[in-house]
């Protein structure tokens, strides 16, 4: 009897730990990105240049990789926390999260093109990875929020998850439009979309922490 009563508490504690670690890593990714932006402001314009351009300037390559990996591991911890908190599982959501992880890895392994006129295989793969990471996470979270609405334990957070998911999709769509409309601030829109994704992960981590209490 004792072990049965203590088990939910242990599971909740573990889920809360995963969520707290995820929040710490997301904070680390934000700090690294801020340092990278400040240190290389003379080489990379945050309004017009893509984030991937940092890899072509000194320590920017290592900082870019560090920021993306921090984001990746934070996402893995959020997912572990979701499972630990017994958030309803869906195969499609799991696949989309997996594709999001893969998109991040593609962006790290394959550098983007240095010039707009360049059309390398690495650049094409990098852009494909970017498209995957900007679409899969918000779609996964939108589907997740839809399934959470019928669960009393999760209904209160489902609305916030859905709103952040829609925000990410809207920002990603604007960044996509910037690829074919030259006068739009491509770099700024990409950074806004990435910030929205980070906010979505924070919302998920906070939802896990709330459920784990």
What is the arithmetic mean of pLDDT over 77-86? Answer: 91
Give residue 59's domain range.
2-212
Q: How far is CA 105 from CA 59, 97, 133, 141, in A?
A: 19, 13, 10, 20
Contact 213, 17 (CB under 8 A): no
Instruction: Work out how many domains the chain is built from and give that number.
Output: 1
Give the Cα separation of 56 and 59 in Å (integer).
9
pLDDT of residue 1: 40
Q: How far is CA 165 from CA 81, 135, 168, in A?
A: 19, 10, 5
User: What's the confidence (pLDDT) of residue 9?
Assistant: 57
Task: Write the pLDDT tens digit of every residue in 145-195.
Answer: 998 887 777 888 888 899 999 999 999 999 999 988 989 999 999 999 999
Residue 181 has what DSSP assignment? -
Distance CA(136)–CA(169), nearest Å, equals 9
Q: What is the pLDDT of residue 3?
A: 42
Q: What is the pTM of this model?
A: 0.89
What value does the mean pLDDT of the chain take? 89
Q: H or E stretch including 41? A: none
Give the largest Cα separation in the chain, rounded.
Answer: 68
Query: How open is the CA angle 164-167-172, to the nearest 5 degrees?
Result: 125
């Amino acid at each position: 009897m004792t072990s049965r009563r203590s088990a939910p508490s242990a599971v909740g504690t573990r889920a809360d730990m995963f969520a707290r670690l995820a929040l710490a890593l997301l904070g680390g990714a934000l700090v690294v990105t801020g340092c990278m932006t400040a240190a290389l402001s003379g080489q990379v314009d945050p309004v017009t240049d893509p984030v991937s351009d940092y890899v072509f300037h000194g320590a920017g390559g290592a900082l870019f990789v560090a920021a993306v990996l921090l984001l990746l591991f934070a996402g893995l911890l959020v997912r572990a926390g979701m499972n630990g908190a017994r958030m309803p599982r869906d195969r499609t959501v799991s696949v989309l999260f997996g594709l999001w992880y893969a998109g991040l890895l593609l962006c790290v392994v394959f550098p983007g093109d240095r010039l707009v006129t360049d059309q390398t295989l690495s650049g094409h793969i990098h852009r494909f990875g970017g498209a995957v990471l900007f679409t899969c996470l918000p779609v996964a979270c939108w589907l997740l929020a839809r399934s959470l609405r019928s669960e009393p334990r999760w209904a209160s957070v489902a609305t916030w998850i859905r709103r952040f998911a829609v925000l990410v999709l809207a920002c990603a769509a604007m960044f996509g439009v910037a690829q074919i409309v030259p006068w739009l601030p491509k770099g700024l829109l990409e950074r806004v979309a990435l910030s929205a994704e980070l906010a979505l992960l924070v919302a998920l981590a906070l939802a896990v922490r709330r459920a784990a209490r």
